Structure 1
Amino acid sequence: MIEILNPTELARARKTGALVGTVLQALKARSTIGTNLLDIDRWAKEMILEAGATSCYVDYAPSFGNGPFGHYICTSVNDAVLHGLPHDHELVDGDLLTLDLAVILDGFAADAAISFVVGETQAPERVALITATERALAAGIAAARPGARMGDISHAIELVLTEAGYPINLEFGGHGIGSTMHQDPHVSNAGRPGRGYKLRPGLLLALEPWVMADTDELVTDADGWTLKSATGAPTAHTEHTIAITSDGAEILTLSGAEH
């Protein structure tokens, strides 16, 4: 299913996006040395419920997971990159943490992820990973405009990641989003320009470049959910929900402070 939102629906989706962005930035500020991942999950739950929103993850049970997920946020540390199941782990100096959050508010979903290094030890390799995904996301957003093709977005993301020297895994990527978290069309992190679905105003997309430092192979953790790099190398993942508008793309998942 591909949904095209009307202006009233888009206004509602903007509120969801702002909530996601605000929660993520608040959680980032609270994620310091000694913070437990289970506390991050609890804080996310409190903020989501206080806002009158619903988690997209608690009852999430796709075929590839050991579902239901049962938590309010994905917390992926170091070699974990996607679907990180919160567990009893206290963050240490230099941990690379990815927070991935999706909620529904007033009938519409928004999905975003941020990666950052905890503490004072900012290892260059880890900072470079994060920067590459942020630059790739910006390139994908710049390519998203009415009349463009899905392949234009995918190709823009691919160019940045490959020029940075990272292999690209194509098992998981971005996706359409609207009244539900995951919809068509799929947004690969590599593609051919001029190919694929034609973008229209009112279309919402979650773009999510992610990389592993030296491999494109994922392995599943014993928890049945967390996806990690096969080599144990560090990873990073950055994501925004955007809306295609008449003159380009609007980022919905910025916090109030980022606007």
Structure 2
Amino acid sequence: MANIRLILEYDGTAYAGWQRQPNGLGIQQVVEESLHQLLGTPVTLISSGRTDAGVHARGMVANFHTERDLPPAAYREGLNGLLPKDIAVQDAMQVRDAFHARYDARGKWYRYCLCRNPVRSPLYARYSWQLRADLDLAAMRQAASALVGRHDFQAFRTAGCAARTTTREIFSVDFAAEGKLLFIDVRGSGFLRNMVRVMVGTLVEIGLGKRPPEDMARLVGDGRGRAGPTAPPQGLCLMEVWY
């Protein structure tokens, strides 16, 4: 029995999120059906986590067990011949039997893209939150520094989050500007449901002057309070998972 790890890249625009579900098409379902075609037997993927509807990924990690004896390249090339154009396997490799994509993960890197432009940009509409106002980056950076460390992020999760504990560790929050694009890179040990998007929504409110930077420290200080809105999904991308 071989344990195969896949690294997947996808545009999440057309999907109801990663997870297989009864009322929408999940990316997991598409990949599992392609694996079934390739291997001739049903396969269940174990993923490093879940992305919501409209969220993208460059480095989603998933593994599965199979009795077929194929070289790893055959999984990559074979699956890419079966998958739709908005999903692709970037890498496939055989790993130790005990490897688990979710439980062995040590950290994740998410990137959120903001497009700052007075006129809407059709080219970036699928991959960014478009804002037509200036942002105070100094205030946003000040606020973001309060997120780093181990805190109670109760205020930064949305309804339906089933996590047993709301304490998480954020390693870093970095900003990078490229023309009209602003990237917010968040690295951490793990994340609650919509946690990064709520962080970004709160940072944007601070950048727009709708709340002071000090609000962020209060939100993570005791895990209570009212955070900002949940940022739109299309700006978020799972970049990498560490093991």
TM-score (norm 2): 0.31
TM-score (norm 1): 0.29
Q: Which has the higher strand share?
A: 2
